[in-house]
Amino acid sequence: MSAFVVYGATGYTGRLIVEEAVRLGLRPVLSGRNPEAVRSLAAPFGLEARPASLDDPRALDAALAGAHAVLHCAGPFHRMAQPMLEACLRNRVHYLDITGEIAVFERMAASDVAAKAAGITLLPGVGFDVVPSDCLAAHLHARMPDAIALELAFTGGTGLSRGTATTMVEGIAQGGAIRRDCHIVRVPSAYATRDIDFGDRRRHCVTIPWGDVSTAFHSTRIPDIRVYTAVPPQTVRLMRLTRPILPLLGTAPVQRFLKARIAARTPGPSAERRAGARSRLWGEVRDAEGRVMQSRLVAPDGYSLTAMTAVAAAQRVAAGGVPVGFQTPSSAFGKDFILSFPDTQREDIV
């Protein structure tokens, strides 16, 4: 019996996750839609391959047979999560994924009752989206339990994998998102900016529709949430200039063009580039009296960190003891979960 299945194992991030699992002595079952690619990846590691398409319920059931959990790595998740969620509910298998998509987090939260009835955990976002930021949000909430506003920001990247880029392209026409008075609100692209000190230097940042707009609320119940990322000022200007044509960017011909450009790129950042990169996160909470507290977090690059956090999360969920129903990383494992990984430090600034 395998502890967990890695679905989407042959993608860029999926491969990193498989390598991390094997390094730790784990033996996950590998799955994905391409039989030849799945078997080719599994063979050198001596792992079991169970190819399955997400639109084939019987094949999915066979892929999950005997497993305690599935770690879903095939995006974009707004299209790919639902069939796997349904398979996990049918087979009473815990569900984890590496999404950063607000709509998927909200869909999983809405499935809380069904998951509890099936006795399974739903834990989306166990990668860079959103483990470090969710743990930072929970830490800040613990510092200021009566906070009414939360702002998070991150920087330090290595470029995008094809899967991440495709997800961004598919959501480009929707603009931005924040949480206001407990509700997720759609806002224009590049809605707000802020200069933020990440510890190494100050950077110009802009709001983006990052997953914490959903998850940080479920973790902390703070009613107002914004998430920023560091970008050059000229990029902010470009984002604002393109607001009138966002609906055009969502049309089928433009989507096909953009996805063709993505497909022609390399799969993702090299090992050398990942090794030389660091991710930096910042967070701030504010109470009704205007008091402010800030904390920062430094961690490995996003893709390497995703491999570590996703495997650790899958291993712990498969072993049992994690609450059933919808969970966030911090509600499942605590606010200090992120500190259990190498080269990760947190500091309180104010």
For the chain, how many structural domains are there in total? 2
pTM, 2 dp: 0.92
Of 222, 156, 107, the residue nearest 97 (C-alpha): 107
Of 49, 52, 59, the residue nearest 2 (C-alpha): 49
For the chain, 350 residues long, give each residue's pLDDT as a single digit of tens. Answer: 458 999 999 999 999 999 999 999 999 999 999 999 999 999 999 999 999 999 999 999 999 999 999 999 998 898 999 999 999 999 999 999 999 999 999 999 999 999 999 999 999 999 998 999 999 999 999 999 999 999 999 987 655 444 554 545 455 557 789 999 999 999 998 899 999 999 999 999 989 899 999 999 999 999 999 999 888 888 878 777 777 766 766 677 766 765 566 555 556 677 888 888 899 999 999 999 999 999 999 999 999 999 999 999 999 999 999 999 999 999 999 999 999 999 999 999 98
Q: Specify the pLDDT at position 95.
A: 98
* 197 and 223 part of one domain: yes
**CATH number of the domain within which 168 lies:** 3.30.360.10
Q: Specify the pLDDT at position 275.
A: 81
Q: Is the peptide bond before 83 cis (omega within 30 degrees of 0)?
A: no
**CATH number of the domain within which 120 lies:** 3.40.50.720
* 169 and 60 part of one domain: no
Plot region of 15 (φ>0 → left; ψ -120 to 50 → alpha; else → beta): alpha
* 192 and 43 part of one domain: no
* 148 and 278 part of one domain: yes
Of 60, 2, 4, the residue nearest 313 (C-alpha): 4
* 177 and 90 part of one domain: no
Q: Which two tokens stand for residue 43?
A: 């063979």
Which pairing describes strands 69-72 and 94-97: parallel, antiparallel, or unpaired?
parallel
Where do the H-state alpha helices sit in 171-232? 212-220
Measure the CA–CA gap between 111 and 158, rounded to whole angstroms: 34
Distances (CA, A) of 256 to 101, 251, 259: 21, 9, 5
Q: Specify the pLDDT at position 69.
A: 98
* 311 and 274 part of one domain: no
DSSP state of 208: -
Q: Specify the pLDDT at position 244.
A: 73
Q: Is the peptide bond before 285 cis (omega within 30 degrees of 0)?
A: no
Q: What is the Rg, in whole angstroms, of the alpha carbon atoms belonging to the chain?
A: 19
Is 66 a domain residue? Answer: yes
Is 345 a domain residue? Answer: no
* 37 and 78 part of one domain: yes
Which helix (H) or strand (E) covers residue 46, if one does? none
Beta bridge partners of 204: 195
DSSP state of 29: E
pLDDT digits over 69-88, tens only? 999 999 889 899 999 999 99
Is 344 a domain residue? Answer: no
* 176 and 60 part of one domain: no
Dihedral sign for Cα 320, 324, 326, 331, please: negative
Q: Is the separation of the CB atoms in 18 and 48 below 8 Å?
A: no
Q: Specify the pLDDT at position 266.
A: 58
* 325 and 261 part of one domain: no
* 62 and 165 part of one domain: no
Instruction: Supply the DSSP string of 114-162, one letter for each residue.
Output: HHHHHT-EEE---BTTBHHHHHHHHHHHHH-TT--EEEEEEE------H
Q: Is the separation of the CB atoms in 123 and 322 below 8 Å?
A: yes
Is 38 a domain residue? Answer: yes
Q: Specify the pLDDT at position 159.
A: 54
Q: Specify the pLDDT at position 142.
A: 98
Dihedral of the alpha carbons of 267, 269, 270, 276, in degrees to the nearest 10:
-170
Of 81, 86, 247, the residue nearest 167 (C-alpha): 81
* 262 and 324 part of one domain: no
Q: Give me the domain span that covers residue 260.
A: 131-301
Q: Is the separation of the CB atoms in 188 and 175 below 8 Å?
A: yes
Q: Specify the pLDDT at position 130.
A: 93
Is 350 a domain residue? Answer: no
Is 50 a domain residue? Answer: yes
Is 288 a domain residue? Answer: yes
Q: Specify the pLDDT at position 160.
A: 45
Hey, what long-range contacts does 186-195 have (CB within 8 A, 24 or more apart)?
188/240, 188/243, 189/239, 189/240, 189/242, 189/243, 189/246, 190/236, 190/239, 190/240, 190/243, 192/226, 192/228, 193/228, 193/236, 194/151, 194/153, 194/228
